Amino acid sequence: MRKSIQNLLAIVLLICVLLTATPGILVNAVSTPDITATIVEAVPGSSVSVVISLNNNPGIWGLGLNVGYDHDALTLNSYTVGSIFTEGEVIPVESLDKKDYFFVAARDSLDNTTNTGKLVTLNFTIANEAAYNDYAISLQLSNENTINNKVEEVALNCSNGKISVIKCIHESSKWVTVELPTCEKNGSENLVCDSGNEVLDTRIIAALGHSFTKKVVSLATKRSDATYTDKATYFYTCQLCGEISNTLYFEDGDVLKSSDTDGGNVKPEPETPIEIPVITGNTDEPEVINGNTDEPAVITGSTDEPAVTTGSTKEPAVTTGSANKPSVTIASTKEPAVTTDSKNEVTVTTEDNKQEYRIIKGENSEWKTGSEMGLSITADGDSAKFSGIEVDDVLVDANHYTLEPGDTVVTLNPEYLGNLSEGKHTLTVVYPDGEASTKFTITKEETTPKTVDDSKSVDDSKTVDDSKKFPWVSSISIVIISAAVISFIYLKRKKAK
């Protein structure tokens, strides 16, 4: 038993000595020198060069290399000797139109060359009728010609190259407009190769969008005529395409002047509310209704006298009934409306069209210069009725904001906000029947200096794992630990006896 353990320990020690004495063999086995050929692209009828290089040269005195290629698609015109051997050390090739090109070189002296880099450069011409394909440049080492100065064969790995024949190299290209965009329709453009006019890519040019900022006074753009109280109004025209807006308008001209003979028209005297007895039902006593209410007043009944309602109402008063006299309703309104029916009944109503809108989100907002986010304001009006927005009483071009459906959510873009001065501004959301306004503030962005943490000056990611540099160290550790365990067991059993 004792002799067996001694033999085992001797074997372990021998393995340790071998591993310690030959670390260079293990390290060198990882890195193997090789010969490589480049991968290039070319078009039919063009010339192209393939570079063959030697890397990790262990020291050679002579070298032989066979280079194969497709003779139908490729023609070898010439070659250029690189830096491994001098031109005088390379054996000239008698004819370049043979099946394969054979490179052979030998040193003029007895010393090995350890140079690395270009071995030889082969210059090819691509046939005009060559198909669009990959053509291999195959490398095969001649072992009997690849030796060192001790006439020992040197093993080198070879990596093939290839020539890819394609339709176009696309060295330069440009974008060409195919269709110009309009206000409502997208355009398009193609990326075209300058050499073969091949279309490499296509992209959309976004529609320009209408710019209703142009004022044109004409019958085609007129919205309403001038009155004694209001100027004539006209719809804005698109600055780009000339289309007329159906929502945005402006005032122009003057109001009508008062005159006894103004084209035959006499300025009407303002109407004043009157109070007339109102009769409802079958009664000899009149009933008068005067009041201030949000709901319409309704009078029904059968009477020979006119039914009259006077008062201040938000909704028009409605009168129905069978009567021999006209039914009249008078309310406090801006624009009176008069209607008659088949019974010669006359109804006079007035209506206040102004609506009260308010800002429900984004009041008194603040925007800092340099921010990449826009400024959003939400009004409670329907976006379908949206006419536009004004900043400081100036109409804003539609290109400077976006509008979302539903409630009127308007977002001013950062580029527009960046051109405004610092301080408070007024934003007004405009509808055909009203508007909503709020304030917002432009402030200057505060910048803080960046500090540098010197504690991060060392890049811990570049530390070297010694166990990967010397894989034999872990093997020695295992062997030593095993030997220690075996010795411990042996001594313990010996003590037990």
Could you report the per-residue pLDDT of 189-230, keeping only the tens digit for each? 998 887 767 888 899 999 999 999 999 999 999 999 999 999
471 pLDDT band, cuts 50/70/90, is low
Q: At what angle do helices 471-496 and 2-21 cross, to 10 degrees?
A: 160
7 pLDDT band, cuts 50/70/90, is low
The span from the CA of 417 to the CA of 440, in Å, is: 11
340 pLDDT band, cuts 50/70/90, is very low
* Contact between residue 160 and residue 38 where contact means Cβ atoms under 8 Å apart: no
129, 139, 371, 387 from 363: Cα distances, Å: 72, 76, 19, 20
Identity of the amino acid at 495: K
DSSP string across 81-101: E-SSS-GGGBPPPS-TTSSSE
CA geometry: angle 29, 33, 38, nearest 5 deg: 140
Could you report the per-residue pLDDT of 273-324, keeping only the tens digit for each? 555 554 444 444 444 444 444 444 444 444 444 444 444 444 444 444 444 4
Domain boundary (351, 373, 402) is at 351
pLDDT at residue 251, rounded to an integer: 96
Q: Are residues 62 and 100 in the same domain?
A: yes
pLDDT at residue 473, rounded to an integer: 55
Q: Domain for residue 219, yes or no? A: no
Record the tokens describing residue 138, joined without a space: 């195959």
Cross-strand partners of 368: 443
Q: In this structure, what are the phi and psi dihedrals at residue 234, rounded to the nearest 5 degrees? A: -135, 145
Q: Are residues 497 and 380 in the same domain?
A: no
Look-up of token digits 């050390």:
89
Q: Answer yes or no: is pLDDT of 157 > 50.
A: yes
Q: Domain for residue 345, yes or no? A: yes
86, 361, 365, 396, 414 from 443: Cα distances, Å: 73, 20, 11, 20, 13
Domain that holds residue 43: 33-165
Closest alpha carbon to 47 in 117, 129, 128, 124? 124
Rounded to 10 degrees, the C-alpha dihedral 333/336/340/341 comes to -40
Looking up residue 396, the CATH number of its domain turns out to be 2.60.40.10
Q: Domain for residue 79, yes or no? A: yes
Q: Answer yes or no: is pLDDT of 238 > 70.
A: yes
The span from the CA of 232 to the CA of 355, in Å, is: 22
Q: Are residues 159 and 38 in the same domain?
A: yes
Give the chain's domain count. 5
Q: Are residues 23 and 101 in the same domain?
A: no
Q: Are residues 196 and 85 in the same domain?
A: no
Closest alpha carbon to 102 in 89, 92, 88, 114? 92
Domain boundary (205, 228, 257) is at 205
Query: Which residues neighbour 184 within 8 Å (Cβ) at sequence distance 6 or greater?
Result: 207, 210
More confident residue, 332 or 244: 244
Cross-strand partners of 242: none
Q: Are residues 92 and 146 in the same domain?
A: yes
Look-up of token digits 């290109």:
399
Q: Domain for residue 118, yes or no? A: yes
pLDDT at residue 261, rounded to an integer: 44
Look-up of token digits 């409502």:
184
Q: Domain for residue 107, yes or no? A: yes
pLDDT at residue 325, rounded to an integer: 45
Record the tokens describing residue 388, joined without a space: 């536009």
List strand residue ranges (DSSP E) for 207-303, in order: 212-214, 222-224, 232-238, 244-252, 290-293, 298-299, 302-303
Window from 77-86, 353-362, 464-473 with minimum mean pLDDT: 464-473
Q: Domain for residue 306, yes or no? A: yes
Q: Are residues 338 and 425 in the same domain?
A: no
Q: Answer yes or no: is pLDDT of 51 > 50.
A: yes
Q: Domain for residue 259, yes or no? A: no
Closest alpha carbon to 80 in 71, 69, 90, 70? 90
More confident residue, 393 or 27: 393
14 pLDDT band, cuts 50/70/90, is low
Q: At what angle do helices 471-496 and 23-30 cross, to 10 degrees?
A: 140
pLDDT at residue 476, rounded to an integer: 77
Q: Are residues 473 and 397 in the same domain?
A: no
Looking up residue 89, the CATH number of its domain turns out to be 2.60.40.680
Record the tokens describing residue 385, joined without a space: 């009725």
Could you report the per-residue pLDDT of 118-151, keeping only the tens digit for each? 999 999 999 999 999 999 999 999 989 999 999 9
Q: Domain for residue 71, yes or no? A: yes
